[in-house]
Structure 1
């Protein structure tokens, strides 16, 4: 499958750089047009059929997010390309395929294009929704009780009260909404298995987070998740793709 793409960026160097990166590294993409502004992009979308837009965010007069309604009406996928990392969560909520920081890394670009191709294949299928519905049903189970052992018995905790879990050798620290930290003499892996049907994801070999408390994500200074309790946690590169995919499902359901 070959995707017809539109590049939207007000900087000439960025437009040319991305065009050549795609030409040299992404045979799944054909650049059908290049726009210098949101207004020009709207006009092109009205004239041509595009599958994918590489969209800058910070541009004069109108920013990239103001083009989204036009793209969504035309079922056009979006990969954001920007020099700023503070828009990452908003991009995920906008159902972007990916969010690439400039200067664009070739490996990350190829990964983003691969995601777009997979997404396009799903859209092209006659009925791609059942699989997504199953994901939504699993994610709808946003809260339940789990029991964790204590010195004299056990405690019952609502999963909604857990901000994140952190491995500490063969122990696990539960960081709770009320600020309390509960340490359990069991490894993190045991709790990962029991939390697969609620909104938790392992972002690192030693950390599981609850999406309910994620307020931002950045790959500017290493991959990080920002939580509502002012804690920043690292996301391993191996788990970053899965995190972004799950984040899109969570924030857009």
Structure 2
């Protein structure tokens, strides 16, 4: 059974969530509702839920404030949000599930059917990562991304990634310190997430951090040398964009 609470100041959203639970999910037991950070804190501490639906914007603060006050938590977290589509990248960066308002039953069903993929581990650092990516970190170098692992997620600094290499439905992430990890996300997903952080697609299999390019070579149709010493082929499809960004310092 999923002991569930809803923390959202929108009465209609709470009503739609409750009715969907009642009609479609016998394993979801609603333990209570709250409409603010203060009442949400009291509710969570009192009922100890294992699933929380949390709005980002609340009358007395944000959902981020609530998680900060709780500290490390062990419940699964699904955000409800009215933020526009471009900001949804922040949720993907941080590996949280979310429902976009106005809430409709089909979105709730899809989210609950994915519940086993929603991690309850390391909630606080992932919330901080999402907050930074949504509202902006004080320094670009502090921007982070959550990478799915077998038993949860790891939070890494985007600036520490040298490049990503596509392997069908997976991507291998190479870090500046020489380590690497295989992640169950496509290269296109990483391209969409990292394009505004100085990453550039140079080949169907390669996405690179332009800050780590030390040399471009014309030989072989185009090659880049990375700071690690790795030599990578540049596809003709991506060459113009790469050269434009390198020559005009559009990192």
CA contact 1:71–1:77 (8 Å) conserved in 2: no
2:220 aligned partner: 153
**Alpha-carbon deviation of 1:42?**
0.4
| 1:88 correspondence with 2:88 | yes
Q: Give the Cα–Cα distance (whole angstroms) in 1 for the partners of residues 41 and 175 of structure 2.
A: 39
Equivalent residue, structure 1, for 2:31: 32
Q: Is the 8 A contact 2:5 2:49 kept in 1?
A: yes
Q: Secondary structure at the match of 1:50?
A: coil
Which residue does the alignment assign to 1:99? 98
Gaps of 5+ in 1: 124-128, 161-166, 182-227, 230-253
1:33-64 per-residue CA deviation (whole Å, 9 max, x = no partner) reads 11111111101111112111111122212122
Q: Deviations over 1:177-199 (max 9, x none)?
A: 85269xxxxxxxxxxxxxxxxxx
Q: CA RMSD in A?
A: 4.2
Bigger shift: residues 72-81 or 134-143: 134-143
Aligned to 1:179, the other structure's residue is in SS state helix
User: What count of residue pairs does the alignment treat as equivalent?
Assistant: 166
Secondary structure class of the residue paired with 2:61: coil
Q: Secondary structure at the match of 2:38?
A: helix
Inter-CA distance 135–7: structure 2 relative to 1 (3 Å threshold): closer
Unpaired segments ≥5 residues, structure 2: 123-148, 162-171, 177-207, 228-234
Cα displacement (A) at 1:103: 1.6
- Aligned counterparts, 1:14-53, within 5 A: 14-53=13-52
Q: Deviations over 1:73-100 (max 9, x none)?
A: 221221111222265344445x463121
For residues 1-253 of structure 1, the aligned pairs below 5 Å read 2-70=1-69, 73-85=72-84, 87-92=87-92, 95=94, 97-119=96-118, 138-141=172-175, 153-157=220-224, 172-174=237-239, 175-176=241-242, 178-179=244-245
Report the TM-score when normalising by structure 1.
0.51
The answer (yes or no) to whether the contact 1:28–1:113 under 8 Å persists in 2 is no
Q: Which has the higher contact order (CA 8 A, sep 6+)?
A: 1
* Closer, same or farther: CA 132–10 of 1 in aligned 2, 3 Å: closer
Aligned CA distance change for structure 1 residues 87 and 41 (closer, same or farther; 3 Å): farther
Deviation per residue, 1:116-153 (Å, 9 max, x gap): 23446999xxxxx76558998943446688xx997x63
Task: Give the Cα separation in 1 of the matches to 2:55 and 2:175.
Answer: 36
